Structure formats: structure tokens, C-alpha cells
Amino acid sequence: MSVTANISLIRERIAAAARRAGRSPDDITLMAVSKTHPPESIREAYDAGVRVFGENRVQEFAGKVDALRGLRDCEWHLIGHLQTNKSAKAVELFHSLDSVDSLKLAEKLDAAARKVGRTLPVLIEINVGGETAKSGVAPDSSALEELMIAAPRLESLSFRGLMTLPPWTDDPQDSRRYFRKLRDLRDTMAARKLPGVSLDELSMGMSQDFEVAVEEGSTCVRVGTAIFGERARG
């Protein structure tokens, strides 16, 4: 199947999942995760109406960005772990950073954004499964509390919500409890009405579990393989 056909099928599946949950399909953004895929594939997704893209690595996207200059009104999001020494480059290349996982990184990004006079939208990545190999802050950790408390002074960052990558499974229903956990965490944090923090966005759901994520309140599904096909292993 072509990228275009894949996207239209995914949109239908998102809409059906939204209706099952009594939600409007318009409240869910389809992000095309284009890591490892060439600019031509990204262009195809753009032509099919996708405007939000996710990339995992600063270096890789830097190599593609020139070929993508002609695409108007796109948002490029960094969704992979970022080393603090690449903060300035990330601020230069990306519209948003969806994988903030430490106060130190948030401080570097804030400084880099201030320097170029822009506001950087960010999501905090939560390690819902408590997996040691994964980045993200633990749900009830002091690291998360520190980030929340620091938000008002990080004036060049705009905290928009939470992102997660649940433990890998081949049964999408296994992801449901992790998606619920992220939503519950968001609800609990939102109820505190912390200054400088808005938590409307829940970035959750990938190729194999995005419908479950939509049923559980996702506002952005990050879909790679189901749009572009399998990634080459490397």
C-alpha cells in the first residue's frame, strides 16, 4: 500500500476509535513519525494532508531539513531522547520538543529558546512502565515534581502536556492500562492548577496501539510503520 492509502486508512481508524469513545476525531492529531525515512516519503505524507511530523534524532533530521524547506505550515517535533549539548540545535530545527525528561534538559532548552527569542512548546515524557532502558521521568518522582515547580521560571518553554511510550507488546490491549495511567497522572496534575503548566496534550499511541490510545484520551498519535512501512534495522 502507498503512503497516501495508509494515511487515509489510519484516519478512518482514528475517527472510528474516537466515535467509540464519544470524542471528536478533530481533537486527535496524526503525527507521522518519519525517522529513517527519506524526504520523498515525508513529502508524500505531506501531500496526503499530514502537517505534523516526528523525528527521533537531531542529527538525522538536520540531514533532511534542506530537502523539506518547500513544505509550508509543517510542525516538526523531536520525540526522541535529547542530549543537553544538542539543545541549541534542537531549538533551531524543531517546532516542539515532546520528550523532555529532566530539569537539566528543560533549563538548557529554555536558555537556547530565550537566546533566539522564541517560545518552545514542550511535553514531558513519562516512563509509565518504569523500564530502566527507557528515558522519561517516573510518574511519582521528585524529578517530575522539580520540572513542574520550575515551569513558571522557564519562561521560554510552554509546557503543554505529557508523552509516553509504554512497554513493548504485541497485544495493543496491554497498552491500555499505561495509557490510562498517563491520563490519570495528567488529570491529577492538572487539578493542582500549577502556574505555567497547561496539560491539554496527551501524546500516546503508535502504529500498533493508536486506536486504544484514542479510546483512552490521546490527543496526538505518533505513527511511523503503519504509514511508511517497516524501518530498516540498523
Ligand X SMILES: *Cc1c(COP(=O)(O)O)cnc(C)c1O
Tell me, residue by residue from 68 to 107, as one string, x for binding to ligand X by CB under 6 A and - for no binding: -----------xx---------------------------
Q: Is 154 in the site for ligand X (CB under 6 A)?
A: no
Q: Which stretch binds ligand X (CB under 6 A): 45-53, 83-91, 129-137, 222-230?
A: 222-230
Q: b or e along 85-101 (b: 16 or more beta carbons within 10 Å of the residue's beta carbon)?
A: ebbbebbebbebbbbbb
Q: List the one residue from 7, 14, 33, 91 that touches ligand X (CB under 6 A).
A: 33
To ligand X, the closest distance from the beta carbon of 231 in angstroms equals: 7
**Between 167 and 195, CB nearer to ligand X:** 167
Taking CB under 6 A as the binding criterion, the range among 41-49, 133-141, 146-154, 216-224 that sits at the site for ligand X is: 216-224
With CB under 6 A as the contact rule, the residue among 56, 102, 127, 175 that binds ligand X is 56
When asked if residue 139 is in the footprint of ligand X (CB under 6 A), the reply is no
When asked if residue 37 is in the footprint of ligand X (CB under 6 A), the reply is no
Indicate whether 222 belongs to the interface with ligand X (CB under 6 A): yes
Residues in touch with ligand X (CB under 6 A) = 33, 35, 56, 79-80, 165, 206-207, 222-226
